[in-house]
Each structure stands twice: as C-alpha cells, then as structure tokens.
C-alpha cells in the first residue's frame, strides 16, 4: 500500500554522472506499411477522420444483418467510440440499451465521457457508465459503458440480459477473467432469447489483435470484419545484449533518445507497476534537472490504473512547446488508452500479471515476460500518428521465445469468485460450463474447495450448490473472502469497522506517497500507525478523517488521497446498505481492535503465514516461503502469525497488507482445514 520503497534493488544513478551507454546497443529490424493524417479539428471532423469512418455504411449494413460479429481494428481506429454511435444513428437496437463492456473502470469512464461529448449530451443522459460502486446512467441512457464485472453482476439479476439489445464485448483480446465468463453468459442469453421467441440479442466482439479464430468459432462461426487501420512504418531495434536490469536499460534508452531527437517526439515506456513507475519517474526527473542546457526539457508522467483520474488525463495533453513528454506506463497504454504524440516506444518486455498454482492454492502477482502479441501491440503504439521507433530491451532470440499469445487470465488465476458467480447465475454444472478456453479441472476443483471452506457451497448428490451463506456472499460486489469477513462480523460485534476496512481495501490506495517527500510522509503517518498491522492502521486513518469532518485540507497535510477517501465513503455506504438489506445488526467495537483482528483471522484464514524459528515466514497452508512487503507497517516487525490480503512476487514472494492475529483464532476459524494441513505438513 505504501509504495515509496523500491524493492527491485534499482539504484538511482547519481544525477550528474549519468552517461548514456554507447548508441550501438541495438540492431535494426524491419519496417511495415502506410501514410499520415492531419491535426486540430472539431469533434465532428475528428469523427469523420477516423479510419473506421470510411467503412461506416458497410459496417452498419453488416451489423444490421448479423446476430454475432467479430470486429478487428488497430487501437485508435475508432471501434469503441464509433460503433455504438453507428448502431444508435442507424436505429439498430433502439428497442433496448447498447452495452459496451471494458476490462478497466478508467476506460469505461473516459470512453463514456468522450462519447457523450461527441453526441453533445450530458453524461448520464443518452450516454452513461456503470462501474463498481458508481452508476452514472439514467432512464434515458441508450449507450452504456460498463466494466465487464458489472455486466456479469447484472446478469445475476437477469441472466437473459433483457434490458440490452446489443452487447459489445470490447478489448476481447485482453481475455480478462470477467470477459471470458461473459462470453459464456451472453452466448447463452442469446440462445435462450431466440428459443423463447424474445427480442434478439446482438453480440459484437471487438479486438485490437488479429488472433480471432477462437472468438469466431466460439460464437458459431461469426463473421469477422477487418478494419483498415492507420499504421505508419515502425523501426524496431533489439538489444544486442541480454539486459539483467530492465529498469536501468529503460533509463539509459530514454536519455539516449532524449539527447538525440527533436523535443516534439514523445516517448512511451512500458514498465510493470505503480511502485517502479513512481520510482522511475523520480529518477528521470532528477536526472533531467542536470542535463546540459542545449538539451530539451523533459516532462515525465506516470500512468497506471490506480493513478488519480486528473493525473491520468494529463498524459493526453501536449507538453509545452520545446519540451518532451515521457510517459512511464503499465500495460494500460497497450490497448485501452491512446496517447497522442508518441513517436518512440521503449518496451521492457515485462508485465505484472496474476499467476495461480492450483496445487498450492496460491495466487500471486508476478512480474513476467510479455507474449509476442503484447510486444507487437506495444510496438504499434509508436506508429499511430506518423512513422515511429520501438526499442525492445531484449534480444531478438529472447523475443522468439516469448509465448505467441498471452494466456487468458481464466487459466492463470484463482477461480473462487468466478465459480461463485456461475453458481449464482444458476449454471447447471460449473465443471462443464461453456468456457471459450477451459480452465484446468484442478483449478476449478481448487476454487470449489475454497468456497466449501468458506461455507459458500455444499455438495448435494453429485451437484455443487450454494448454501444460504454463499447466496448472501454473492450479494456483495467483493471477493468471496471479503464478503465472508463482512458476514462474520456481527459475531465479533464489529461490522462498522470491518465495513470500513473492506471499503478501504476496495478502492485505490488512500495513501499518497510522493517519493520526493518520503521523510515528511513517514513523519505524518506515525500518528496512525498500529503495531497490529496495516488494516488497523488504515482504520485509524479513516477514523481521523471522519472525526475531522472529512476535510480535504487535512488529507493534503497528511498525504492522504482525498478523492480515494471520498470513494471509500461511497463504497462503505453501499456495502452498508447491502448489510441492512440482509438484516445484519450494525455494531461498532469502538476502541477494541482485538475483535476486529479476530474477525479478519476468521475471514482470511486461507491467507495466513507463520514466523519460523529462523525469522522467515511461510504460509500456513502450503508452507510456501513468503516475506513481509516493505510497504507494510509491519516490515521491521516479526509478529508470530499474520493474515494478508495478497501475494506479490517480485524478487521474493511478498505478503501485502497484513494484520497480526493469534494462531488459535485461525485454528478456530477452520479446524478441519488446519488439521488436514497439519497432517499434510507432517
């Protein structure tokens, strides 16, 4: 959570001594296709100038005719913003609402905003969006952007999705777990609506990459429409040597380019996550301060999903004249966001993604190599407006060894939430659900076992069914472990506190950690620190915020992100409403934090770790070695037993967001489970 520590061992070079390495570290490779386009236009002109516009009438004709269709076009060609409008303008699907799903909430919000501008309407009227904990739509809304997770939740209420006439599953190439489940849900809704003679459901799958056979096949051989993109030639340079430190390599490359090319050529660097991006932003800014006077100024901007919205918007603005924009981004800039001005792409070849091992039951976030498809997508970002250059910080031989395609998330993550969702959707048999890419039977079983341990499912004959508890759990838009923790809280008389903690963990971090003010941040945070861990520390921060009248000024002084804090209030009130609907007693444990920790231990018992005699930690269930993440309040402490929220694999396997608990509480929470674990351990 507190992200001011760079655990990659990435050393900042002393600013003045910085020297770019010799320019000859790259070998040159290939250069594909095509021509250029103009600047500064009205919105209407911009719409007409998009590559997709030339195909407008053909697209409309096809969309009118077809039940299911796959549309492919390079990022930026106009798929997401235009196709919903084309449908609307051609009165296709006017009887209902046109849904456009997005894997990321940022994208859903910014696209809805853009399209409502293009239509000259107020957001929430004709065009709106729904993301978790935020609904900006109305009765009038006909074009609705929503996260794929939200459409899935809506399907629980109505598996036939009757409100919608068209569902556009966008960014399908990303194959997020929710998109994959949605494929099955909309396919089944379409079929059932047809069988029952109801209004037909049109399904449009949109992808930025060419590998669409699977999509087409899955949707009963749906036709594929290819859009002409606007792709300029891109030169690719590979590293001549294998790079042991991709951050250092990226830094050297950025400054090498910076000192050689005109300031108007912006640079986009692909990194893996918030922490390293923040650290690198600071390093770049420091180095840039000490460059010779004849070197252009550099404007360095971080970009990642949890960055405050206002800061995200900055990347779309041009740098002041004579200055160069350098954007350090996660894979968010691969497809879902189009940034103007980019001429150079620096691809580290790395990405942070989930990995799941059904045997150990561990899901970790790990930094790993990208797939070839991802690398091509990143490269493509350099050729949006004019010819471009891409530096790949790996050797060509290394590239050849990348996987062709990214493995869909559903085949590499914990499926507990998905299985719970399928059961709520009354899917007859979760083992045989029509997945486009089947997860392994082991991971399905592991998920069911977990839900069983949480008390959410039970076996009836050879059927797996939801228990009443499982049904209640599904009422919360949360991971099963968190909904379970909330449902357990009345037993520990601390529902108010647990709601606060879960809300704090459900939004982007409320802790603001500007790397340049590390000491001030630490001094200010001291007031809130609890030796009982991160959960209680966060609770203290929330309480102080609330007691002081939810004051923005206070947030600023204490390095708290007030926007995210306001979001916590909103999330909390929604979760509280669900509790009240479920007739849960709302009690506060006041100053007693023992109850709260006990409740967390009972909800998160599957995520527990124990101190070993040698001072290291291992997880309680599978004895995997783990360490306390440097961002944790407990980093310098050695509590005997903790529960954690997630595992992050970088140089080690780190636990993030920890709470000190008693081993006895864990045992009480799931005696059978721990007895079995102990047996397997022996």
Q: Which residues of this protein are in contact with ligand CDP, per CB under 6 A?
A: 50, 73, 75-82, 110-111, 114, 338
Minimal distance in Å, beta carbon 117 to ligand CDP?
9
Non-local CB neighbours of 462 within 8 Å, separated by 6+ positions: none
Partner residues linked to 50 by β-bridges: none
77 binds, among ligand CDP, Mg ion, none (CB under 5 to 8 A by kind): ligand CDP
Distance of closest approach, residue 377 Cβ to Mg ion, in angstroms: 12
Residues binding Mg ion (CB under 5 A): 79-80
- Nearest approach, Cβ of 54 to ligand CDP (angstroms)? 14
HEC assignment per residue over 618-648:
EECCCCCEEEECCCCCCCCCCCCEEEEEEEE
Can you read off the two tokens belonging to residue 658? Answer: 């920890």
Give the residue among 646, 612, 610 at the shortest CA–CA distance from 631. Answer: 646
Contact partner, 281, from Mg ion, ligand CDP, none, Cβ < 5-8 Å per class: none
When the beta carbons of 73 and 93 are compared against ligand CDP, the nearer one is 73
Q: Are 185 and 154 in contact (CB under 8 A)?
A: no
Residue 81 touches which of Mg ion, ligand CDP, none (Cβ within 5-8 Å per kind): ligand CDP
Nearest distance in Å: CB 363, ligand CDP: 30
Distances (CA, A) of 672 to 81, 515, 677: 53, 46, 8
Distance CA 417, CA 477 (A): 10
Q: Least distance (Å) from ligand CDP to the CB of residue 535?
A: 36
The alpha carbon of 90 is separated from its chain's Cα centroid by a whole number of angstroms, namely: 34
In the bound state with Mg ion, the residue whose beta carbon lies nearer, of 52 and 486, is: 52
In the complex, minimum distance from the CB of residue 75 to ligand CDP, in angstroms, rounded to a whole number: 4
Alpha-carbon distance of 428 to 423, in angstroms, equals 8
Q: Which CB atom, from 225 or from 498, has the smaller least distance to ligand CDP?
A: 225
On the CB side of 112, CA atoms within 13 Å amount to 31
Residue closer to ligand CDP by CB (options 80, 414) is: 80
Q: Which does 631 bind (CB under 5 to 8 A by kind): ligand CDP, Mg ion, none?
A: none
Q: Are 508 and 274 in contact (CB under 8 A)?
A: no
> Cα-flanking dihedrals φ and ψ of residue 138, to 5°?
-145, 180
Question: Are the C-beta atoms of 327 and 303 separated by less than 8 Å?
Answer: yes
Q: Is 50 or 568 the residue whose CB approaches ligand CDP more closely?
A: 50
Query: Can you say whether the dihedral through the CA atoms of 402, 406, 411, 417 is positive or negative?
Result: positive
Q: Which does 329 bind (CB under 5 to 8 A by kind): Mg ion, ligand CDP, none?
A: none
Q: Which residue has the tokens 């949006």?
A: 384
Nearer to ligand CDP, 50 or 205 (CB): 50
Distance CA 154, CA 137 (A): 14
73 binds, among ligand CDP, Mg ion, none (CB under 5 to 8 A by kind): ligand CDP
Using CB atoms, what's the residue nearest to Mg ion?
80
The CB density around residue 651, as the number of other CB atoms within 10 Å, is 10
Q: Of the two residues 171 and 347, which places its CB atom closer to ligand CDP in the complex?
A: 171
Six token digits for residue 288 = 């840039």
Provide, rounded to whole angstroms, the least separation between the CB of residue 208 and Mg ion.
7
**Binds 264: which of ligand CDP, Mg ion, none (CB < 5-8 Å by kind):** none
* Inter-residue contact 330 to 271 (CB < 8 Å): yes
d(C-alpha 659, C-alpha 642), whole Å: 5
Binder of residue 498, out of Mg ion, ligand CDP, none (CB less than 5 to 8 A by kind): none
Nearest approach in angstroms of CB 77 to Mg ion is 8
Compute the least distance from the CB of residue 342 to Mg ion, in Å. Answer: 16
In the complex with ligand CDP, the residue whose CB is nearer, 80 or 593, is 80
The option from ligand CDP, Mg ion, none interacting with 324 (CB < 5 to 8 A, set by class) reads none
Q: Are 509 and 3 in contact (CB under 8 A)?
A: yes
Q: Closer CB to ligand CDP, residue 73 or residue 361?
A: 73
111 binds, among Mg ion, ligand CDP, none (CB under 5 to 8 A by kind): ligand CDP
CB of 227 or CB of 267, closer to ligand CDP: 227
Give residues with Cβ within 8 angstroms of 196, minimum separation 6: 160
Which secondary-structure segment (H or E) carries 246? Answer: helix 246-260
Length of the chain, please?
Answer: 682
CA distance 180 to 185: 9
Decide whether 56 or 79 has the Cβ nearer to ligand CDP.
79
CB of 329 to Mg ion, least distance (A): 16
Tokens of 278: 């923040």
114 binds, among ligand CDP, Mg ion, none (CB under 5 to 8 A by kind): ligand CDP
* Closer CB to ligand CDP, 78 or 128, in the complex: 78
Task: Pick one of ligand CDP, Mg ion, none as the site partner of residue 485 (Cβ within 5 to 8 A by kind).
Answer: none
We find the least distance from the C-beta atom of residue 338 to Mg ion, in angstroms, to be 8
Given a contact cutoff of 8 angstroms between Cβ atoms, the answer to whether 483 and 575 are in contact is no
CB of 118 to ligand CDP, least distance (A): 9
């Amino acid at each position: 959570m507190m992200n001011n520590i760079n655990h990659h061992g990435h050393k900042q070079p002393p600013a003045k001594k910085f020297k770019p390495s010799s320019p000859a570290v790259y070998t040159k490779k290939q250069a594909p296709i095509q021509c250029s386009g103009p600047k500064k236009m009205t919105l209407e002109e911009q719409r007409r100038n998009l590559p997709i516009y030339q195909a407008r009438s053909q697209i409309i004709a096809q969309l009118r005719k077809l039940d299911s269709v796959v549309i492919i076009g390079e990022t930026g060609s106009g798929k997401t913003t235009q196709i919903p409008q084309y449908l609307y303008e051609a009165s296709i699907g006017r009887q209902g609402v046109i849904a456009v799903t997005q894997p990321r909430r940022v994208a859903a919000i910014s696209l809805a905003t853009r399209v409502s501008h293009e239509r000259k309407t107020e957001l929430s009227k004709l065009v709106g969006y729904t993301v978790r904990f935020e609904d900006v739509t109305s009765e009038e809304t006909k074009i609705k952007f929503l996260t794929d997770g939200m459409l899935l939740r809506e399907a629980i209420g109505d598996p036939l999705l009757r409100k919608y006439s068209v569902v556009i599953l966008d960014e399908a190439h990303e194959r997020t777990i929710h998109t994959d489940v949605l494929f099955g849900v909309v396919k089944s809704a379409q079929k059932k609506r047809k069988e029952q003679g109801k209004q037909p459901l049109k399904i449009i799958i949109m992808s930025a990459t060419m590998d669409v056979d699977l999509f087409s096949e899955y949707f009963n051989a749906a036709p594929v429409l290819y859009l002409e993109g606007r792709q300029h030639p891109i030169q690719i340079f590979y590293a001549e040597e294998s790079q042991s430190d991709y951050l250092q390599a990226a830094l050297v490359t950025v400054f090498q380019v910076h000192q050689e090319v005109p300031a108007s050529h912006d640079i986009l660097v692909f990194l893996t996550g918030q922490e390293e991006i923040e650290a690198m932003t600071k390093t770049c800014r420091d180095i840039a301060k000490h460059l010779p006077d004849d070197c252009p100024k550099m404007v360095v901007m971080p970009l990642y999903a949890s960055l405050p919205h206002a800061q995200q918007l900055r990347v779309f603005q041009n740098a002041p004249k004579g200055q160069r924009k350098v954007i350090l981004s996660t894979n968010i800039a691969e497809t879902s966001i189009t940034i103007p001005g980019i001429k150079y792409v620096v691809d580290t070849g790395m990405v942070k993604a989930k990995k799941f091992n059904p045997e150990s039951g561990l899901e970790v976030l790990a930094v790993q190599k990208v797939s070839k498809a991802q690398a091509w997508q990143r490269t493509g970002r350099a050729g949006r407006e004019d010819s471009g250059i891409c530096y790949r910080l790996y050797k060509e031989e290394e590239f050849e060894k990348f996987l062709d395609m990214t493995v869909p998330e559903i085949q590499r993550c914990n499926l507990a939430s998905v299985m719970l969702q399928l059961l709520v959707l009354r899917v007859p048999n979760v083992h045989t659900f029509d997945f486009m890419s089947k997860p392994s039977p082991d991971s399905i079983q592991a998920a069911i076992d977990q839900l069983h341990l949480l008390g959410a499912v039970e076996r009836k004959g050879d059927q797996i069914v939801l228990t009443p508890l499982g049904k209640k759990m599904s009422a919360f838009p949360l991971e099963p472990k968190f909904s379970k923790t909330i449902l357990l809280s009345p037993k520990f008389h601390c529902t108010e506190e647990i709601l606060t903690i879960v809300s704090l963990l459900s939004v982007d971090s409320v802790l603001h950690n500007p790397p340049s003010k590390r000491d001030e941040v630490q001094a200010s945070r001291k007031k809130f620190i609890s030796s009982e861990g991160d959960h209680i520390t966060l609770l203290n921060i929330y309480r102080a915020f609330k007691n002081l009248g939810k004051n923005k000024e206070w947030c600023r002084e204490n390095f708290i992100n007030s926007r995210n804090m306001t979001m916590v209030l909103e999330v909390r009130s929604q979760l509280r409403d669900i509790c009240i609907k479920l007739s849960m007693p709302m009690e506060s444990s006041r100053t007693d934090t023992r109850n709260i920790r006990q409740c967390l231990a009972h909800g998160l018992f599957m995520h527990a770790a124990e101190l070993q005699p040698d001072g290291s930690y291992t997880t309680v269930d599978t004895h995997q070695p783990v360490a306390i993440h440097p961002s944790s309040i407990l980093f310098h402490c050695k509590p005997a037993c903790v529960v954690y929220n997630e595992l992050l694999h970088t140089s080690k396997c780190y636990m993030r967001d920890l709470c000190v608990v008693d081993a006895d509480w864990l045992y009480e929470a799931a005696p059978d489970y721990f007895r079995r674990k102990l047996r397997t351990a022996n």
